[in-house]
Structure 1
Amino acid sequence: MESTLLLRLKNVVKHFDISGSLLEQLKFEGGKIIRKQAIVQAVNDVSFDIMGGETVSVVGESGCGKSTLARTVMGLYAPNSGEIHYKGKRIDNLSRSKMLPYRAKMQMVFQDPYASLNPRMSVSQTLEEPIRFHNPGITPSEVADRVAHVMEQVGVDPAWRTRYPHEFSGGQRQRISIARALAVGPDFIVADEPIAALDVSIQAQILNLLMELQDKNGLTYMFISHDLSVVEHISNRVAVMYLGSLCELAETGNLYEQPRHPYTKALLSAIPRLGAKGFRHIKLEGDVPSPINLPTGCVFHGRCPYANERCRTEIPKQHLRASGSLVACHGVEEGRI
């Protein structure tokens, strides 16, 4: 069965103005007062598609913009420019009321379940709230049945519905967060580092739960993570970001076996490999530039061993390869890498 296009990102840009007040922006330089603004360029011209039923993981170093991209996709942040399409309908420019039908179909699981759950609401209240909001005519018995059903789906005893978040372990709280996302019957879930705050043994349980729910409910995931071993296990395709830019997007097997972008190669070389012979860890020189003052040309050129003058002056465009992967690198395009 051929997959259909679910989500399309077209040249999405998200910047944050952290300049402060007008007085804070005024600086005295060169004998005169000038106004200087500080703009965090978190996401820059990101484009890719997500097909129905697949898991696309977004990886990169801390501060690369992957969580900002996730929140922009969900509408928690409005993009500065670009377009976001869901099932062929542009949604980034919709009003609050017109966006409501898409809210039920697009849900999010956050990294820290204790922070994302209201400590003053019981499990039942937490799960009932979105169900009642998106289904105004639903009866109390139907709400109770749906709450019990989603709790059973995630492996939490429905008898615990009167308990509060502090009465659960971290893994159980994350299961409740997943149940809250499932309660309204979504098609698409953004999982923003959903296992990062959990013990290793619990991480495996949550991962298996997510994969099981995907098979049962036909879910599509955008999975945000910094754990490359986890990403390899759960993903169909992987998008690699650096300083807000998309470096490479490829099927998981192709990316891990034959990475093309120099940054992807360095990133994957950091995965521990016990007993591997001939393995070489690529150590990048220099520091990661500030997203407030991005370098010209390719954002990676200051740390790239293959950079030339074109890399320093011209921003690379995504290059479609025969394998179907996308690579934004002048060296790959020119055949130097």
Structure 2
Amino acid sequence: MRDMTEALHKNSISLDTFPYQIIETKNPDSYEKKVVQTYQEDPEHWRKVIGDTLLFQFGVYDNTFSSQTFTPPSGSNRTSKLDESGIRYFEQQLFLAGVTGSDRPTMKRILDIGCGWGYALKYLAEQYPECQRLDGINVSGQQLSHCSKFHTEKGLQDRINLFQCNAKDIDLLPDIDDPYDLVVMRGVISHFSYDLFETVMEKLWKRMSTGGSVIISDNLYNIDLNAYKSDTPDEVDRLACKYRKTPEYFHTIMQKSGFFIQDKRVLPSNADAVKWLLEIQNNIEKHFPRGAGGALDELHVMCENMAVAIVKNKISIYSTVLKKP
């Protein structure tokens, strides 16, 4: 599948058998292959590790804001704590953005940048039934194929459009005169080089509707990056996250792009972030006692390293809500 996808990029060919559209790029991103490689693992292996929803961006364990309870699929023998906490975190971010409740704004078009295995798009489609156009972009053909199958099973294929597209090419997404009212960027900026991050934010501002919201979640480093040292030697670029960012740099780029920062905070708490990481580490050890190999082995090491760094307050997970004024 990956070889076929690369051939399509190279030769500008589109096949009806592909369950997603391919956006050609004029300036290939040299780091993209590393990100694609990270998510080549069988989705069912990931499911054993991060939960049935395949939400992969931390979790909140306090249910104060929760509006629904996750029900695991029939026959599932795995804990639903990761699923529940992941949904709860997403719900809290939507609440902080002011896009929930009876007086919420109407959504005409939504974009998920780095849409993963598709659960967030499914959730948003159900949350905003009036929105007939939800777009998801991703560089991973493996994940997009899973998204397409999942959304078809839920009867959402006519509303959700999937694109194999690097985030820097969001200006090439169709219908530029039809702006986005809500954009989600959760757990993807860690995969961005600095130049890519700055380009994406500049282009995203141009694709947003006035008053539109952007919801972001990512891990940021609370200390001087030159002083940071991982507990395990950094000989491997684990999960394509080598471009570390500080809150100061992160929010400077947001404002420079023209956005207004409506809300920024550590969310989930450091304690919840550590709990989430240790649950994932435990799942890897439980389901792959002889070693998972590949990205999941990288994740196993990363969980321990990051948990220690969070306890020492060297890293925190930040939630940011932007508005286009």
User: Which has more strand, going by share of residues?
Assistant: 1
Fold equivalence (TM over 0.5): no
Quick check: which has more Rg, 1 or 2? 1
User: Which has more helix, going by share of residues?
Assistant: 2
Tell me the TM-score normalized by structure 1: 0.32
